[in-house]
Chain A
């Protein structure tokens, strides 16, 4: 089944404790992206990657890191999480970078930073 998977789905952590949220897609998609969703703000892009070893900042990159060592994986790293990073996180992928390419979303990761 074609899908985008994220792990973990739920995470409660404390300020300053490094964490990684994994994202994997099995559709051989070139483009991958991370969004965060906050009440009343919609979804905002954190980082994106157009291909292996090619990443760039989105609208809200502060406090996050990403890597793209393999085409299928695009982990999101919070090296020193803070309470303002409490949010719902979505990974998405699409076949290419053209605007006509549908973005497929993962199921979301609910992160709480105490």
Chain B
């Protein structure tokens, strides 16, 4: 089974600064997708960004970007110009055909944004 590891249980960033959340994964597959989900206090799961393993170019969505290192099996999330509304739990997730179509989640990183 694939495993997703988020080694930072908690992170803190000042408003307007940049923060990077780490994620590593273990897989023997070549075709898969990686995702970052945000879970604010409302508990809603919100897709932030996704990356296809076959694409070398790192995905970006406004202030959110990823650093995808396929050989190292690393998928970090960078949040630029952090805002108070970015405070949430962030989950890294992996999905492939061989994962039973499930999203395999990491344990999450709690991000605190300070004024």
A residues whose Cβ falls under 8 Å from a Cβ of B: 31, 33, 35, 40-45, 48, 50, 56, 58-59, 88, 90, 92, 97-100, 102-103, 105, 107-108
Residue interface mask B24-37, A partner, CB < 8 A = 1: 00000001110000
Of the listed residues B52, B99, B105, the one surrounded by the most CB atoms of chain A closer than 10 A to its CB is B105
Contact B52 A108 (CB under 8 A): no
Contact A58 B95 (CB under 8 A): no
Number of CB contacts from chain A to chain B under 8 A = 58
List A contacts of B100 (CB < 8 A).
45, 48, 56, 58
Q: Is A99 a contact of B105 with CB atoms below 8 Å?
A: no
Complex-state Cα separation, A67 to B45, whole angstroms: 24
In the bound complex, CA of A7 to CA of B104 (Å) = 24
Residues in A with CB closer than 8 Å to B106 are: 42
Take A100-B33, A100-B52, A102-B50 as given contacts and tell me if A43 and B103 are in contact as well, using a CB distance cutoff of 8 Å.
yes
Taking beta carbons and an 8 Å cutoff, which residues of B are in contact with A? 1, 4, 31-33, 42-45, 47, 50, 52, 91, 95-97, 99-103, 105-108
Q: Are A42 and B97 in contact (CB under 8 A)?
A: no
A99-B96, A99-B97 given as contacts; is B102 within 8 A of A45 (CB)? yes
A105 with B44: in contact, given A45-B100, A45-B103, A50-B101 (CB under 8 Å)? yes
Pick from B42, B47, B96, B107: contact of A42, CB under 8 Å: B107
Bound Cα distance A31, B99 (Å): 14
CB neighbours of B101 from chain A (8 A): 31, 33, 48, 50, 97, 99
* Complex Cα gap A98–B50 (Å): 14
**With A43-B91, A45-B102 already in contact, 17 other A-B pairs whose C-beta atoms are closer than 8 Å:** A35-B103, A42-B106, A42-B107, A42-B108, A43-B103, A59-B1, A97-B97, A98-B97, A99-B95, A99-B96, A99-B97, A100-B33, A102-B50, A103-B103, A105-B44, A108-B43, A108-B44
Taking a contact as CB atoms under 8 Å apart, the answer to whether A44 and B97 are in contact is no
Instruction: List the B residue with the shortest CB-CB distance to A107.
Output: B44
* A86 CB → nearest B CB, Å: 15
